[in-house]
Structure 1
Amino acid sequence: MPTISKISNFINNIDSPVNYNIAEYIKVLDRVNNINLKNLTDNQLKEKSEILKRKAKISTDDIIVDAFSLVRETSRRVLGMYPFDTQILAGAALDRGKIVEMKTGEGKTLSAIMPAYLNGLTGKGVHILTYNDYLAARDAEWMGNVYKFLGIEVSFITEKMSKNERKKGYLAHITYLSAKESGFDYLRDFLAIDKKDIVHRPFNYAIIDEADSILIDEARVPLVIAGKFDNTTENYSYLSNLIKELHPIKDYELNEYGMEITLTEEGLSKMEYRLGCDNLYEDKNLELLTRVNSALHAEVLLQKDKHYIVRNNKVEIVDEFTGRVSDKRSWPDNLQDAVEAKEGIKSSSKGKILGSIPLQYFINLYPKVAGMTGTAHSAARELDEFYGKDVVIIPTNKTFIRKDKPHYIFKDIHTKKHAILHDIKKEHEKMRPILIGTGSVEESENLAMELRNNRLSCNVINAKNDEIEADIIAKAGELGAITVSTNMAGRGVDIKLGGKNEKNKEKIISLGGLYILGTNLNESRRIDNQLRGRAGRQGEPGESRFYVSLEDELIRKYRIDKLIPSKLIQRNFNIEDDKIREYIDRGQRIVEGYNSDIRRQLMKYSFILEEQRSIIHKKRREILEEKISLELLSNKSPEKYKEIQDELGKDIIKKVEKQLTLYYINKCWADYLEYISYIRESIHLVVVGKKNPLDEFHKIAIESFDKMLEEIEISIVNTFKTAEITKDGIDMDKERLKIPSSTWTYLIDDSQNQFSNVEDVVKSISTAIAKPFISSKTLYKKLLKIFN
């Protein structure tokens, strides 16, 4: 552990927007270090915990030192792990609601149990939100013995648990679960028709593991609950077959880097003739146009085994951040249906969306939020802007000695691949463990095949079975191991030199520790750093190197090569050319800014919807829990209201009004979401009429929401006037007020949308060099016919 004076010097010598000042947490550490509980018996420790429970009802601020000291000593006895000073610092920052950056191997999981215990003493609930179900179950079991020793209930929740199991899990002092499962339960609670069906209790405190992956990478991903009302599904195979008949260049054209696709005038005319419509761009045909564009996008731009796989007769999306198959994720409905039609798969039909909330807004429902990760500093501005969260950098327990080598840069992919293979062979001859990070499932499998053809045995990580993955990752530090992986984000497992038992650890240290080899740069340096962070844990040696070519997808997609003066490219540059590396680093920073702007733009569009969702959810919850009295029917239909009340009693009339109100809130909100989703998909077309899309969207959303509120009231009153009411209330099925026959949850992969236009970032990267993309002449010709 660095001395306090060294930490102070570290703070004073850093000039950064990130918060390196940990003075207030050092004060907590000093006081914790002055408490010695080793001589107390187990029962005495447990008695102290009971005393702290009583004190926590008043305030947790006054007992943080006692609570942390108690957990530290209990951890030593129960787990055989005595938290480092740096882990105490991290725990104190987490209790203050900060995003804590700790390098891989510094013990984030153990750091979290101290603030979790402290806040769990209040009995109001602590959620430790993990990246997946496997980590939730693992960490709850691993750390659970500490909590149980101190009289604190701990539980975990996974996808397959029943409603009763979930409700019981949320009643524990501390609950481990994935962020998405907590969000899905929030959406399910919105559909409850009886308050006993609600599983969540009021939100209190959340500690988010892999915070940057959840809060930044997944922030724009909407959580969705959908319902099926009937068995009818629309057949999209006809459109898919039409698209398959089109010819490249003649009927459709791609932009220079294959990122956008548009119909040519000939292709558009052909589609309009086959579909029997005069002008696809007329307002009445916008829904059909959206489906045509989705079918074209699915057929030409989305590649099987790169962007998705087909397994068990289902289309499964490959996650852009982790490279793994994404569980329970779909594209927006039109695109998902188009891909399924392309592959000859019967549409899985998401049914009707009944509720939705982006992960970013869900997290903000917690009054107190903290997070921990190994790579937060580069996302600090977004974390502050979107969540109001400071990033606190915690120093390492031991001196950090990993060597991050400059990128090797090549003109073409072929030369790069040859150099990668040569490097792997050279390091493997020493028996040094190697972890190779690739850019896609396809690339990882091709590289693994190439290695095996060269008699180099390797393990591959690109599946979605998290338990098997964790086992493979744990072995990645063994002597002579070669592990090929897609992105390492959200893996949640440390790589120990020598494997779980640390066999041959000293020999591996003498070889330089784990060698990290990245075959591509990512769109975010933070993702690159997550790969680097797998080496050099707890003061151990390690080394990382990235291989880059000017033909890589990142370079081509965003025209980063246009930044580099042609005279540097034309000559046979050295693979460690500093000047070229500077241009590539600059391009990567510009791309990061562009992706940040997309998230910011999406936030602007979703802000008004989230304000509306908050109003609807709050109102519905108050009605469900009978916190407000309903007076609509007595005001709008007083005669029948009095008649039913006199005949059947006050309780029945209250039950009827509650039944109808809850039903129509759900129905009208679902109708509104469906309408506003369609508006959002087509709103960008208003630029042709020289209008601002965001302003127009907000205007439509506000007007439509007001109409929806009116529709809820009108529907309640009209149904009340005509419905048969008995001593049991209203027979909802008989009155055709059907609730969904089944519901399910999923995530919408929102990466394909009208805001992700690569044109803007290309302009940013090389305004003077690269030509901006030109919008299709056909599009404008058709649209201008309408607006003129």
Structure 2
Amino acid sequence: MLSSIAKKLFGSVNERRLKSYHPKVAAINALESEISKLTDDQLRARTAEFKAQIADGSKKIDDLLIPAFATVREAAKRVLGQRHFDVQLIGGMVLHDGGISEMRTGEGKTLVATLAVYLNALSGKGVHVVTVNDYLAKRDAEWMGRVYRFLGLTVGIIVHGLDDEERKAAYECDITYGTNNEYGFDYLRDNMKYELAQMVQRGHNFAIVDEVDSILVDEARTPLIISGPLEDRSDLYLKIDQFIPRLTPADYDLDEKQRSVALNEQGNETVEVMLREAGLLTEGDLYDSQNITLVHHVNQALRAHALFQRDKDYIVRNDEVVIIDEFTGRMMPGRRYSEGLHQALEAKEKVQIQPENQTLASITFQNYFRLYNKLGGMTGTAATEADEFQEIYNLEVVEIPTNRPVSRIDEDDEVYRTVEEKYAGIIKEIHEASRRGQPILVGTTSIEKSELLAELLKKSGLKQIDLEDPKRFEPIFNAARNNQPNQHFAVLNARFHEQEAVIVSQAGAPGAITIATNMAGRGTDIQLGGNLDIRLAQEVPDNLEGEARKKAELAIRDEVAAFKAKALEAGGLYVIGTERHESRRIDNQLRGRSGRQGDPGRSKFYLSLQDDLMRIFGSDRMDGMLTKLGLKEGEAIIHPWINKAIEKAQAKVEARNFDVRKNILKYDNVMNDQRKVVFEQRREFMAEESVREIIDEMRLGVVDDLVNRNIPENAYAEQWNIPELKEGIAHFLNLDLPVEEWAKEEGIADEEIRERVLKLADEAYGKRIELNSAEVMTYIEKQVLLQTLDHLWREHLVTLDHLRQVIGWRGYAQRDPLNEYKSEAFELFNVLVRRLREQVTGQMMRIEVVFQEPDAPQLPEMTAEHIDPATGENEMGLLGLSPPLGGASLAQRVAPSERDPNNPATWGRVGRNEPCPCGSGKKYKHCHGKLA
């Protein structure tokens, strides 16, 4: 009650925020007449002037907002022929303030970004513009890049297939366009390099995320992962597999319905005894943190034996375990169970065990984008996820008013009893709208459903357009020219972004029918009558010049104008939703494609009681109620109350999904804190000229650990563990010291022994430096330190992953799994630090240098993975990027002596800076490795 009164008196929070920007908009407008009189050179000179003011500290970036925005507006007028509206200026200010500009489709978000991008690029620290696919990155960098270059700024693009030199050059630019995946993978790869000069990114100053809801909410459900082959663990799988048949059903709890199995207390004791007898469990209990990986392998072996049946869940064929799809009963060669389960099945069936893939590095989008000092975003739909943006990214959503009032009509949903009736209603509506000459966009929730609808449309007499045909639009245009119903439709599914953007651009032609999944064509406006620029580019031959060219262009302009008039008369774009999505935001994205810039439009959703969302909130009772009300086959029920009920159901699902994402993030934050420490430590190691002091400190730490462990403080000499101390000194320090004799000396204490061990260890290392030369040892120390840290970090990631899978069981003991995970992860991290000291010291105390042609440290073979949350497919695989990142090949390295200079097929993987194997004397990157 009080809040509604306050809102009427003072306006909503959003209204008050918008109001605060009005004085700045007025100030920018006041400068317009003055700036419009400047010559191009004078306008460009303002950039250098702004940069100088920031560099000398006389002005801050915020102080330059008004003159900088006015400069960009004038540049856009001259270069693009587009002038920023007042609401677009407000959108730019929201981005600059580190917020999310929610702007309707067609309001010019791409142009809005130029304001905040230009202003923040003046600092020289770089601005990243993040898009959802490579096509949009290239398009926007070229399109808006004309404005930036006109004003004297540099623009780079990050797309797949670039090598490190090209990436570094792009990141060095004032403004860099790229996709969320590319930025994230570059960050991970940078933190696997061995020299600072090899790193491509130069920091995380400011990023603007286009389609921010898609990237920071939808895509953020799955992490970015770089993986590589794991060392062969066949023996471990085979050893553990031998224990499982010795267990009895009394040793584990099996739930076939939930397909779960777990050792009980008796089973744990039995397995512990068997592991100790086999020498696999050497210290602590089975569930101690250092044995987490062992627990994981035992659990997977138990699952393989208790839950998976040969010839039902899988078959053995040609010495391979092949999965059988539980729904279709078909074999799925090439697919493998993850987390070591497939290897456990291979051990069970005594076939060759294929190596696992190991996570080399991973990060969630939430934690990557929180690296930026400042973050902004734009989208047409963010308000429903405002709480998530605020809580996770500290981003406030500001709804920007449209330049012209929205005149789209959003009709109530039509609810049918069955899916068949619903589709019949949709097809009938498509035919009627097409006869009126109204362009139609049909939104589906998946590729499968779009293909199902396509088949039904074909049966109803329509023909599907071949997207590869250069004349694909002609049947639609001919129908519009002759005032006849269109008989053709296009199907888009968000896989071929560049091609689909062209299709979507013409989806506003009179009578056009376009079926699209939720993401297809995002980032491209549907203009009524069709997109003039794309038609001019495609239909006017390049060799046409002079009057002939003007005549051809005029004919297309006139036709597009005539088509627009027809589409407007028919009611504008008609958006049909084939079902409600779990999230209101996705539905709003679809609706928002219609009614751009004040155009008329219409939207309607068709539902059935068999749809996923309807099933969730009790379709059985509703079905019975509709039957009693006398709803006949083919009839639909339409009422605003149903819309409200569905929206409430969607809000509940959204809240549940947010809780899931938040919970995942809580666990990932634990790893992220450790990731930051490790990556920061790596950078410090790489930045140091020499890491000898660090090596010396590690050696001191190892000596302290050995003495403290075997000669406890205030312990009697009889309690000292001298044999183990001697063994530890030999193992970690490569020294044979008379520790037994020292221990017999009268009055000797632990401190004296510590000092003797350390003195002799330092002397031994000093001799090794003299023997191998200080310069060589300086290089080796850094490489050993970095490579050992990388190896241990990768093992640590695997262990944390295994810990995460089993930590939930602690809940049964009334202990918070998250707190338990934090505690165990901290303990494991301490183990990592201790092992780093020990392994580096052990290697350096044994190092012997053999002089030969040095090989630069090579990154391991890597594959990129980002699972599409909607389809479960690897996005990088769909792009042809599953092989190693950066455009590299999966080919193995081949010894130079085995390469045939005349046959590149024998060269294997060649380093970019290696001499070209052809014998030209040039570097490979300047010869056969030169990019086209």
User: Does TM-score exceed 0.5, indicating one fold?
Assistant: yes
In the alignment, what sits opposite 2:848?
A: 724
In the alignment, what sits opposite 1:665?
A: 789
In the alignment, what sits opposite 1:63?
A: 64
Q: CA deviation at 1:121?
A: 1.3
Contact 1:641 / 1:653 at 8 angstroms: preserved in 2? no
In the alignment, what sits opposite 2:131?
A: 130
1:400 to 401, 406, 411: 406
Query: Aligned partners of 1:26 and 1:338: how far apart in 2?
Result: 65
1:492 to 523, 537, 544: 523
Amino acid at match of 2:649: G
In the alignment, what sits opposite 1:356?
A: 362
Amino acid at match of 1:459: A
1:571 to 629, 641, 650: 629
| RMSD over equivalenced CA pairs, Å | 3.8
Give CA deviations for 1:554-578 in whole Å, capped at 9, x if unaligned.
222x344378596466434561134
1:634 to 696, 700, 721: 696
Q: CA deviation at 1:225?
A: 1.4
2:511 to 480, 492, 496: 480
Query: Aligned partners of 2:300 and 2:262: how far apart in 1?
Result: 20
Alpha-carbon spacing, 1:38–1:454, altered in 2? closer, same or farther (3 Å): same
In the alignment, what sits opposite 2:583?
A: 524
Structure possessing the higher radius of gyration over alpha carbons: 2
Query: Aligned partners of 1:632 and 1:227: how far apart in 2?
Result: 29
Alpha-carbon spacing, 1:625–1:639, altered in 2? closer, same or farther (3 Å): same
Alpha-carbon spacing, 1:28–1:10, altered in 2? closer, same or farther (3 Å): farther
Alpha-carbon spacing, 1:565–1:704, altered in 2? closer, same or farther (3 Å): same
Residue 561 (structure 1) aligned with residue 619 (structure 2)? yes
Alpha-carbon spacing, 1:97–1:432, altered in 2? closer, same or farther (3 Å): same
Residue 212 (structure 1) aligned with residue 270 (structure 2)? no
TM-score, reference length from structure 1: 0.80
1:145-544 to 2 correspondence within 5 Å?
145-228=146-229, 285-289=298-302, 333=339, 351-456=357-462, 457-488=488-519, 491-501=522-532, 502-503=560-561, 504-544=563-603
In the alignment, structure 1 segments of 5+ residues that lack a partner are 1-8, 240-250, 255-259, 266-275, 316-329, 341-345, 754-788
Query: Aligned partners of 2:353 and 2:573: how far apart in 1?
Result: 46
Query: Aligned partners of 1:334 and 1:424: how far apart in 2?
Result: 49
Amino acid at match of 1:617: F
The alignment covers a number of residue pairs equal to: 685
Give CA deviations for 1:722-742 in whole Å, capped at 9, x if unaligned.
22135789x899xxxx96542
Q: CA deviation at 1:744?
A: 2.5
In the alignment, structure 2 segments of 5+ residues that lack a partner are 242-253, 264-273, 276-293, 315-322, 347-351, 463-487, 533-559, 700-760, 873-932
Contact 2:504 / 2:521 at 8 angstroms: preserved in 1? no
Query: Aligned partners of 1:124 and 1:304: how far apart in 2?
Result: 56
Amino acid at match of 1:43: D
Query: Aligned partners of 2:684 and 2:581: how far apart in 1?
Result: 46
Q: CA deviation at 1:378?
A: 0.6
Query: Aligned partners of 2:601 and 2:356: how far apart in 1?
Result: 47
Alpha-carbon spacing, 1:673–1:348, altered in 2? closer, same or farther (3 Å): same
Alpha-carbon spacing, 1:507–1:333, altered in 2? closer, same or farther (3 Å): farther
Residue 39 (structure 1) aligned with residue 34 (structure 2)? no
In the alignment, what sits opposite 2:97?
A: 96
Residue 609 (structure 1) aligned with residue 671 (structure 2)? yes
In the alignment, what sits opposite 2:802?
A: 678
Q: CA deviation at 1:105?
A: 0.3
Amino acid at match of 1:285: V
Instruction: Tell me the SS of whatever aligns to 1:534.
Output: coil
Alpha-carbon spacing, 1:678–1:192, altered in 2? closer, same or farther (3 Å): same
Query: Aligned partners of 1:712 and 1:728: how far apart in 2?
Result: 27
Instruction: Tell me the SS of whatever aligns to 2:208.
Output: strand
In the alignment, what sits opposite 2:863?
A: 744
Residue 596 (structure 1) aligned with residue 658 (structure 2)? yes
Instruction: Tell me the SS of whatever aligns to 2:580.
Output: coil
Residue 694 (structure 1) aligned with residue 690 (structure 2)? no
Instruction: Tell me the SS of whatever aligns to 2:162.
Output: coil
Query: Aligned partners of 1:672 and 1:30: how far apart in 2?
Result: 56
Instruction: Tell me the SS of whatever aligns to 2:866.
Output: strand
Alpha-carbon spacing, 1:88–1:591, altered in 2? closer, same or farther (3 Å): same
Q: CA deviation at 1:680?
A: 1.5
Amino acid at match of 2:572: G
Amino acid at match of 2:415: I
Amino acid at match of 1:496: Q
Contact 1:185 / 1:200 at 8 angstroms: preserved in 2? yes
Alpha-carbon spacing, 1:690–1:303, altered in 2? closer, same or farther (3 Å): farther
Q: CA deviation at 1:234?
A: 12
Query: Aligned partners of 1:532 and 1:135: how far apart in 2?
Result: 21
Deviates more, 1:566-575 or 1:618-627: 566-575
Alpha-carbon spacing, 1:304–1:66, altered in 2? closer, same or farther (3 Å): farther
Contact 1:435 / 1:476 at 8 angstroms: preserved in 2? yes
Residue 552 (structure 1) aligned with residue 603 (structure 2)? no
Alpha-carbon spacing, 1:681–1:417, altered in 2? closer, same or farther (3 Å): same
Contact 1:210 / 1:490 at 8 angstroms: preserved in 2? no
Amino acid at match of 2:42: Q
Higher relative CO (Cα under 8 Å, sequence separation at least 6) belongs to 1
Alpha-carbon spacing, 1:430–1:20, altered in 2? closer, same or farther (3 Å): farther
Give CA deviations for 1:649-676 in whole Å, capped at 9, x if unaligned.
4443332221111111110010011111
In the alignment, what sits opposite 2:23?
A: 27
Contact 2:300 / 2:344 at 8 angstroms: preserved in 1? no
Task: Calculate percent identity across the aligned residue pairs.
Answer: 36
Q: CA deviation at 1:23?
A: 2.4
Amino acid at match of 1:47: A
Query: Aligned partners of 1:283 and 1:101: how far apart in 2?
Result: 45
Contact 1:355 / 1:670 at 8 angstroms: preserved in 2? yes
In the alignment, what sits opposite 1:51?
A: 49
Query: Aligned partners of 1:349 and 1:27: how far apart in 2?
Result: 64
Q: CA deviation at 1:82?
A: 1.1
Q: CA deviation at 1:584?
A: 2.4
Query: Aligned partners of 1:576 and 1:382: how far apart in 2?
Result: 32
Amino acid at match of 2:376: A
Alpha-carbon spacing, 1:437–1:749, altered in 2? closer, same or farther (3 Å): closer
Query: Aligned partners of 1:164 and 1:403: how far apart in 2?
Result: 52
Contact 2:296 / 2:802 at 8 angstroms: preserved in 1? no
Query: Aligned partners of 1:472 and 1:337: how far apart in 2?
Result: 45
Alpha-carbon spacing, 1:716–1:490, altered in 2? closer, same or farther (3 Å): farther
Deviates more, 1:710-719 or 1:285-294: 285-294
Query: Aligned partners of 1:389 and 1:81: how far apart in 2?
Result: 29
Give CA deviations for 1:138-177 in whole Å, capped at 9, x if unaligned.
1001111111111100011101111110000000000000
In the alignment, what sits opposite 2:687?
A: 625
Amino acid at match of 2:190: D
Query: Aligned partners of 2:593 and 2:210: how far apart in 1?
Result: 16
Q: CA deviation at 1:582?
A: 3.1
Q: CA deviation at 1:55?
A: 1.7
Instruction: Tell me the SS of whatever aligns to 2:36.
Output: coil
Contact 1:28 / 1:65 at 8 angstroms: preserved in 2? yes
Instruction: Tell me the SS of whatever aligns to 1:545.
Output: strand
Contact 2:104 / 2:380 at 8 angstroms: preserved in 1? yes
